[in-house]
Structure 1
């Protein structure tokens, strides 16, 4: 498909998504009894059904989840894709010198080892830029998903490198889904995103520099009560509440951060 035909298809794609319904299998995975009450409590802020439907994740796809952390989204994606699709979890390197990375990876491995009936088909890969960038075989992924990670790559100066790695792993015509803490546009972007917030236009620019095209955006994970300016950055808000008891009720009332939800396509033309 050339770029002119692709452009003509965009309105049809938008119309299709607008009327999209959450697949039964996806809703079943979200409602599953094996998900903890604490994780389900965060659905009101993370909107997994709406988000994964917006990213058009089907149960027969090859999906890469980038830096899954403790596996909040993995708990949904693994049972949803089991038997028909393939899930790659691109986690931290076991060789990392960062204690948090090693601890997080170890906990994730324990989690998937404890439930082989759920996670037995999951393939664990490594994303530790700039050295380890093979998150999945080149050109193999239908979807790549990243949730609140862009600021971490900016902090280490590796954001452009990671977006290029994600581009390589996607099939032509594949989609990249990005959820990230959103900074108001009146705030000048800190290149290292120390606050944890990133301007939406900055993320779009990073993706487009890597070769992606913005397909659509949604306000699924928006929170208009979040100003993006807090004493301890995004970690002032729940679930971290880094100020402890100081103004705790105020930040609980705000809720989790305002987040952009962006969908990019890897064009199938060169």
Structure 2
């Protein structure tokens, strides 16, 4: 009798576990499309410039948002935002309860006093009511800091440029990025792949060896979480400058995810 009761209890436990698993799978099935839908809305934002949307097929923003795990309400840093391609997308993806810090270096000064330098794109975006959750910060990268800790720090096609700043301490910079993240926060580095062995490629062809990035970022205390191959291009032999018309917008790119331990 006792053995029958034990068997019955085990059967109930198995059925309960199966129901729980099915419920989890059902929730995951519905959560993924919901998140994908939110990303699609962010990318479909009518305020995005035509020059940005024209780049979508090659930059694959939906896959980038998914890999980074961007969520509504998060604090995201777009580090060295350039023209603000990802700044605008992040702003819509995190929503009105989230914040995007667009962090660039000091604004460039005009060589001609009669012709003021153009306003940096990150300032233009931050002043646009359509992107009220974007805050622009200009700071020397050696003094990188943000007002509060972030959930995600993202830099796209820029890490190699930091290697070209004279006397720049990349180890100190990565530690500053580490400090600027919440425990469990992520640092995403996307850049052009270089063949290993030549540190000068960061300036000559604007590429970097992914192994160098991984070693430097991990040295700051980050844990490597994985990579995305979405922007990989095996046809790129890594010898051409990224601005070469033969490879422009089609370079082999790596996307690494690092996490600050909790």
TM-score (norm 2): 0.77
> In the comparison of the two structures, how many residue pairs are matched?
226
Residue 261 and residue 136 in structure 1: after superposition, are their counterparts in 2 closer, same or farther (change >3 A)? farther
- The higher-RCO structure (CA 8 Å, 6+ apart) is 1
Gaps of 5+ in 2: 1-27
- Is the Cα contact below 8 Å between 1:93 and 1:128 reproduced in 2? yes
Deviations 1:55-95 (A, max 9, x none): 1111111111101111111121112223121111112224x
CA-based RMSD of the aligned residues comes to 2.5
> Alpha-carbon deviation of 1:124?
1.7
2:145 aligns to what SS in structure 1?
A: coil
Residue 65 and residue 255 in structure 1: after superposition, are their counterparts in 2 closer, same or farther (change >3 A)? closer
Matches within 5 A, 1:118-129: 118-129=130-141
> Alpha-carbon deviation of 1:181?
0.6
Residue 141 and residue 108 in structure 1: after superposition, are their counterparts in 2 closer, same or farther (change >3 A)? closer
Residue 188 and residue 257 in structure 1: after superposition, are their counterparts in 2 closer, same or farther (change >3 A)? same
Residue 107 and residue 88 in structure 1: after superposition, are their counterparts in 2 closer, same or farther (change >3 A)? closer
Matches within 5 A, 1:234-245: 234-236=242-244, 241=245
Matched, 1:256 2:246: no
Matches within 5 A, 1:140-151: 140-151=149-160
Residue 193 and residue 98 in structure 1: after superposition, are their counterparts in 2 closer, same or farther (change >3 A)? farther
Aligned position for 1:222: 232
Deviations 1:161-185 (A, max 9, x none): 3212211100111111111111134
> Alpha-carbon deviation of 1:194?
3.2
